[in-house]
Amino acid sequence: MFLHADLDAFYASVEQRDHPSLRGRPVIVGGGVVLAASYEARDRGVKTAMGSRQARRLCPDAAFVEPRMSAYSAASKAVFEIFADTTPMVEGLSIDEAFLDVSGLARVSGRPDEIAERLRGRVRDEVGLAITVGIARTKFLAKVASAVGKPDGLLVVPLGGEDEFLHPLPVERLWGVGPVTAKKLRNNGIFTVGEIAAIPENALVATLGKASGHHLFALAHNRDPRPIVVGRRRGSIGSQRALGRSDPSLGEIEVMLSGLVDRIGRRLRRANRVGRTVVVRFRYGDFSRATRSHTLTEATADTALILDTTRVLLRASADVIDEKHLTLIGVSVAQLTNADAVQLSLPLGQRNRPSVHETLDEIAEKFPGVNIGRASGLSGSSQMAVPLLPD
């Protein structure tokens, strides 16, 4: 049996945990764009990726807080330690959710529902957060169960009762059914998972296309043979920043990029990872998106090299940014591999830039309250940053 464990309204819940005055109140994490919303805010119609202006209209009494990624990372680490203490078969999906395989633990740990209840209690008592767990014989159905069981719930899909649970659900519960596919299905009179299951597979393929048709037909019949994949390392490391209603200049956006790249570089070096492909993502006021990327000749965790690449990609998009209102910018480094597996290129002595950033990483770890940034990031106001990084 599989468990799908998913923290409830993760970012917002961490804020409510750490700030008692926010408990029971609608909380929205993010500035110009909603990154997360508490259930009190969701009940008013606030959703992730919604603009802050619309969120304020829907929930004028909400508390808006800036994201604190270090706090969320620490909470995630503590929760994943509980996962690992529950079973060695853990597959992380994101910072706040994972699959756990508890098959074969009956003699040691009890039934899957007993294991899940203990896990939920430990997360609540040791980390101070609510978590929902879905239990089923396939990963797909366990994830659906946790979504149906939210918030702060435990939902078991019994063996033999899969169709009874799954088939009455709306088609949107299936992985891969977004607004476009859902509209196409509804236009064909298909509203529930059971109605998909009743359609011949070739008819579904004719309606949705080969890949999507086969995929949804299999899920509607709860066919998901995937096992837990333990130890899978993420393929990219990134960070993003919402801009909201501000209209920054290209120079100001470059400063924001510097901060994002500094953060990514530290995370790469801390994980002993290097990457080859640098990606810059843009989101505009009309909700359109754009992506630019460049693949380096060698994998790197060198902050300066990654920053130089992002600047080139940003300037290549300058005309579009001038025409549209930029609401979010993100950077990621992909095609990751272990740093130890990368062969150094000649000349081997040119290692001075990475060592500077490694030293700054050590300072940041030892003195977390010290804000060391780039001189270009100083606005001329009463900032206390120590400008040590060359631009």
3-class DSSP string for 309-378: HHHHHHHHCHHHHHHCCEEEEEEEEECCEEHHHCCCCCCCCCCHHHHHHHHHHHHHHHCCCCCEEEHHHC
Of 50-59, 165-174, 184-193, 230-239, which gets the smallest average pLDDT? 230-239
Looking at residues 71-76, what average pLDDT do you find?
A: 92
pLDDT of residue 349: 45
The whole-angstrom separation of Cα 71 and Cα 18 is: 9
pLDDT of residue 48: 85
* Domains in the chain: boundaries: 2-7+85-159, 10-69, 167-220, 236-389
Report which of residues 9 and 267 the model is more confident about: 9
pLDDT of residue 46: 94
Q: Chain-wide mean pLDDT for the chain?
A: 85
The owner of tokens 């680490």 is 77
Q: C-alpha angle with apex 77: 232 to 62, nearest 5 degrees?
A: 115
Q: Which of 6, 14, 4, 3 has its CA nearest to residue 127?
A: 14
Tell me whether residue 365 is one of the annotated catalytic residues.
Answer: no
Write b or e for each residue in 71-80: b if 16 or more Cβ atoms lie within 10 A of its Cβ, otherwise e: ebeebbeebb
Report which of residues 347 and 222 the model is more confident about: 222
Element (H, E) at 205: helix 201-208
pLDDT of residue 106: 86
pLDDT of residue 348: 45
* Band of pLDDT at residue 77, cut at 50, 70 and 90: very high
How confident is the model over 356-374, as pLDDT tens digits? 555 555 656 555 555 555 5
Asked whether the predicted pLDDT for residue 384 surpasses 50, the reply is: no
Looking at residues 162-166, what average pLDDT do you find?
A: 95
The whole-angstrom separation of Cα 90 and Cα 46 is: 32
* Amino acid occupying residue 341: A
Q: What share of the chain is helix, strand, coil (3-state, %, to 5)?
A: 45, 20, 35
**What are 283's strand-pairing partners?**
289, 328
Q: What is the CATH number of domain 167-220?
A: 1.10.150.20
| Fold of domain 10-69 | MutS, DNA mismatch repair protein, domain I (3.40.1170)
pLDDT of residue 297: 87
How confident is the model over 199-236, as pLDDT tens digits? 999 999 998 888 889 999 999 999 988 888 886 666 78
Asked whether the predicted pLDDT for residue 99 surpasses 60, the reply is: yes
Q: Which of 155, 181, 161 has its CA nearest to residue 170?
A: 181
Q: Which of 81, 97, 162, 254 is catalytic?
A: 97
Structure tokens at 150: 């939210």
How confident is the model over 258-313, as pLDDT tens digits? 989 998 998 888 888 899 999 999 988 777 888 999 998 888 999 999 999 999 99
How confident is the model over 49-73, as pLDDT tens digits? 888 889 999 999 999 999 898 899 8
CB burial of residue 344 (10 Å; 0-12, 13-18, 19+): exposed
Looking at residues 79-95, what average pLDDT do you find?
A: 92
Domain 2-7+85-159: give its CATH superfamily: Reverse transcriptase/Diguanylate cyclase domain (3.30.70.270)
The whole-angstrom separation of Cα 164 and Cα 379 is: 60
How confident is the model over 24-39, as pLDDT tens digits? 999 999 877 888 999 9
How confident is the model over 329-345, as pLDDT tens digits? 999 998 888 877 655 55
Structure tokens at 247: 């209209």
Of 61-75, 138-152, 313-327, which gets the smallest average pLDDT? 313-327
The whole-angstrom separation of Cα 235 and Cα 338 is: 11
| Fold of domain 236-389 | Dna Ligase; domain 1 (3.30.1490)
